[in-house]
């Protein structure tokens, strides 16, 4: 087992990430303890696990990596830093929003709030499509069914492995060719999921942002059943893109930040231009306000 310390600039909140994972946990693929998050991982033909825990004596996370993934340690460290948003500067983010009358006080009051993102962009893209028009709870239920039905069994057990890790998330090829009847989604959404999976599997769609988040959003929106909300959400949660902004998200529109009347998607999109290039942090803080009042992770998504 390999251990790496990943430092960050305080403040940073383990409880925010624990709550994020707890709401979306996929048993078998992921495991969550009070002070540890673990999951199975795949890079190319290699499979293994990673485990992350906060360190109390210093502003850092400890990343543990299975021996089977040792040659990918550097790449895994980069992905985990992005996943837990460890490279952000909370002082700079607070300063960026300071002049905004609604968000400025909210960001200043909670400077440790970060941008949780996924370990695997394809996995997040699947979650985003499943999450169209349903609550987080309903989307997680359906995603768990996918894992139970199609997740590959963990190929090897080692003494240092978390016993709760038993499966790998289904591959694009597996999802593209699977029979998904009675999975709990409308036929059009199943078709969108399988068309995305097929496009990733055969190389027609590249899930990457090295050419910019806008280019990724444009590529995604060419696929049937994927509109701006889904594409922006994949950029935000799948890649941790700091300026991604799903303006039609009902949690953003109904947040108490805007008062009882709320705000329209057109108005919010126009207002968000002042928050560039950190609109994703605005989304996180607005969602936090909605969650605090409603007690829900987020409401139903808009139609695509």
Placement of tokens 């605005």 in the chain: 282
Could you tell me if 125 and 238 are in contact, meaning their C-beta atoms sit under 8 angstroms apart?
yes
| Residue 202, token pair as written in the block | 């055969």
Write out the DSSP string of 85-109.
Answer: TTT--HHHHHHHHTT-TTHHHHHHH
Angle between helices 187-201 and 121-130 (to 10 degrees): 170
What's the CA dihedral at 89, 91, 93, 94 to 10 degrees?
A: 160
Say whether 146 sits in a helix, a strand or coil: helix
Of these residues, 85, 120, 243, 249, which one is catalytic? 249
Can you tell me the distance from the alpha carbon of 142 to that of 161, in angstroms, rounded to the nearest whole number? 27
Can you tell me the distance from the alpha carbon of 7 to that of 54, in angstroms, rounded to the nearest whole number? 10
Q: Is 243 assigned a catalytic role?
A: no
Question: DSSP code of 300?
Answer: P
According to DSSP, the β-strands at 152-153 and 60-65 are unpaired
5 strand-pairing partners: 62
* 65 membership: H or E segment, kind and range: strand 60-65
Could you tell me if 297 and 136 are in contact, meaning their C-beta atoms sit under 8 angstroms apart?
yes
Question: DSSP code of 28?
Answer: B
Can you tell me the distance from the alpha carbon of 30 to that of 143, in angstroms, rounded to the nearest whole number? 13
Can you tell me the distance from the alpha carbon of 270 to that of 279, in angstroms, rounded to the nearest whole number? 12
Say whether 75 sits in a helix, a strand or coil: helix
Active site residues: 249
């Amino acid at each position: 087992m390999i251990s790496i310390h990943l430092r960050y600039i305080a403040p940073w909140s383990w409880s925010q990430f624990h709550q994020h994972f707890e709401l979306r946990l996929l048993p078998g693929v992921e495991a969550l303890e009070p002070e540890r998050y673990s999951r199975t991982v795949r890079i190319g033909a290699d499979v293994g696990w990673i485990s992350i825990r906060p360190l109390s004596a210093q502003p850092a996370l400890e990343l543990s990596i299975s021996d089977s993934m040792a040659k990918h340690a550097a790449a895994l460290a980069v992905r985990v830093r992005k996943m837990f948003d460890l490279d952000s500067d909370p002082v700079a983010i607070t300063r960026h929003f300071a002049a905004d009358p609604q968000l400025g006080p909210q960001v200043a009051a909670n400077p440790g709030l970060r941008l949780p993102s996924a370990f695997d962009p394809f996995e997040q893209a699947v979650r985003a499509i499943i999450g169209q028009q349903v609550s987080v709870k309903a989307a997680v239920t359906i995603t768990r069914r996918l894992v139970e039905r199609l997740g590959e069994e963990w190929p090897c057990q080692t003494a240092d492995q978390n016993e709760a890790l038993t499966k790998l998330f289904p591959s694009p090829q597996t999802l593209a060719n699977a029979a998904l009847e009675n999975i709990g989604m409308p036929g059009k959404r199943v078709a969108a999921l399988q068309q995305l999976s097929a496009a990733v599997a055969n190389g027609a769609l590249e899930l990457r942002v090295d050419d910019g988040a806008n280019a990724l959003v444009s590529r995604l929106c060419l696929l049937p059943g994927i509109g701006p909300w889904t594409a922006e959400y994949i950029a935000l949660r799948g890649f941790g893109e700091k300026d991604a902004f799903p303006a039609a998200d009902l949690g953003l529109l109904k947040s108490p930040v805007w008062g009882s009347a709320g705000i329209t998607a057109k108005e919010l999109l126009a207002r968000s231009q002042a928050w560039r290039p950190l609109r994703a942090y605005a989304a996180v803080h607005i969602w936090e306000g909605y969650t605090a009042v409603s007690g829900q992770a987020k409401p139903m998504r808009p139609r695509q």
